[in-house]
Amino acid sequence: MTETSSRRDFLRTAGIAGAALAAGPTILDGAPDGKIVLAFVGVGHIHTPGFVILLNGRPDVRVKWVWDHDPERAKVRAADLQAPVAGTLDDVFSDPEVQGVVICSETDRHPALVAAAARAGKHMFVEKPMGVSAEGSLEMAATINQAGLLFTTGYFMRMDPKHLFLKEQIEAGSFGTITRAQAWNVHSGSLGGWFDEKPGDPANTWRWMADPKVAGVGAFGDLGTHSLDILMWLLGDVRAVSAEIEVVTGRYDDCDEAGTALMRFASGVTGTLTAGWVDVADPVKFIIAGTEGQALIVNGALRFESKKVEGSSLDRPWTDLPPQPKAPLHQFVDAVAGGSTAHLVTPDEAAARVVVMEAMYEAARTGTRVEIG
């Protein structure tokens, strides 16, 4: 089977698998005190400290175990959470009280951890990207779906009221025939040495994130996956890509630090995605244009104009926005407790982003247009 046919088969069957998940996972009982019992399985991701703060702020949650392949790293986070360090993964996965796991390991460790969690019947929050490869991500999605477990990942941009508003307006037809969309997600991580080794502070060393063999991607994929998610969430499947992805400073050896991709969506929309770690600012986030309307997000403000929406104008910010949902990890915890699953990212969605991102890297490496499906 070719890479292209594999991607096409996945995109064709994703809706079927998603429907199976929607039938409803089993919600475990948790602890006798009624708290939601979770465990950290891997604590190496740069977002881990924020997740620790979030869970510590929820009186309805108890983190029972912390495991990491690096014992020193696990020890620091376990102290933050006032939880014991798990000596082995079996301590976590064999514990009947544990309802769900937060997987913040290095990306290349996701497949084994996801497979173990699925076998144990534990719901999963898995940090993005889902995997280092399209093939591995498709396998993880199938495993989670077959187990009927709750899943989500850290695509927090979906919770931005501006993006929610744009989705509403697209579905309402306010843009007419959409012709193009452009998304940016950049910061100064390479310029500021965010991923440098930090001897003496093992819990806060993110150097692996600038090693594509471990992370699966460099800067373009690390930040670009967020905006790619928004583009696909708003506009649907991607059918073909081309890209330029490059090393700029060389601070992290051959890890890419910037890139731009051109996409052709199944709907006929042309999109561009720009992401990287070598920008001193990130003022322009999104532009969408159609035959009846246009919108842009600049300096945190949405401007919107449509022939179909009275009072809309690009001359001033549009502030009539939907309420902001909770952060993805909050949503995961609520869903494990039996709450709404409406905003969870499905395993198929998470895998589809890796499929497209891998195609972008392939296009940049070969200098060709890569067909996806």
pLDDT average, residue stretch 50-73:
97
pLDDT of residue 32: 65
pLDDT average, residue stretch 150-169:
98
Residue 19 has pLDDT above 60, yes or no: no
Tokens of 202: 């093992």
Mean pLDDT score of the chain, rounded to an integer? 92
pLDDT of residue 34: 87
User: Is the fold of 3-155+330-346 the same as that of 157-324+356-371?
Assistant: no
Q: Which of 55, 57, 157, 148 is nearest to 104 (CA)?
A: 55
Peptide bond into 129 cis (omega under 30): yes
Residue 2 has pLDDT above 50, yes or no: no
pLDDT of residue 30: 57
DSSP β-bridge partners for residue 240: 264, 371
Confidence of residue 24 (pLDDT cuts 50, 70, 90): very low
Q: What is the dihedral of CA 231, 237, 240, 243, to 10 degrees?
A: 20
Percent of the chain scored above 70 by pLDDT? 91
Residue 369 has pLDDT above 50, yes or no: yes
pLDDT in tens, 283-331: 999 999 999 999 999 999 999 999 999 999 999 999 999 999 999 999 9
Q: Side-chain half-sphere of 267: how many Cα atoms within 13 Å?
A: 18
Tokens of 213: 């063999």
Residue where the block lists tokens 């290349």? 108
pLDDT average, residue stretch 14-31:
41
Residue 106 has pLDDT above 70, yes or no: yes
**Domain segments of the chain: what residues?**
3-155+330-346, 157-324+356-371
Looking at per-residue pLDDT, the higher value among 312 and 4 belongs to 312
pLDDT in tens, 160-207: 999 999 999 999 999 999 999 999 999 999 999 999 998 888 788 899
Confidence of residue 23 (pLDDT cuts 50, 70, 90): very low
Neighbours of 164 (CB within 10 A): 17
Q: What is the CATH number of domain 3-155+330-346?
A: 3.40.50.720
pLDDT of residue 29: 54
DSSP H helical segments within the chain, as ranges? 3-22, 48-56, 71-81, 89-93, 110-120, 134-147, 161-172, 189-192, 212-215, 219-235, 328-336, 347-366
pLDDT of residue 82: 97
Give the SS3 label for residue 261: strand
Confidence of residue 252 (pLDDT cuts 50, 70, 90): very high
pLDDT of residue 373: 76
DSSP code of residue 76: H
Looking at per-residue pLDDT, the higher value among 76 and 15 belongs to 76
User: Domain 157-324+356-371 belongs to what topology?
Assistant: Dihydrodipicolinate Reductase; domain 2 (3.30.360)
CA distance 364 to 254: 14
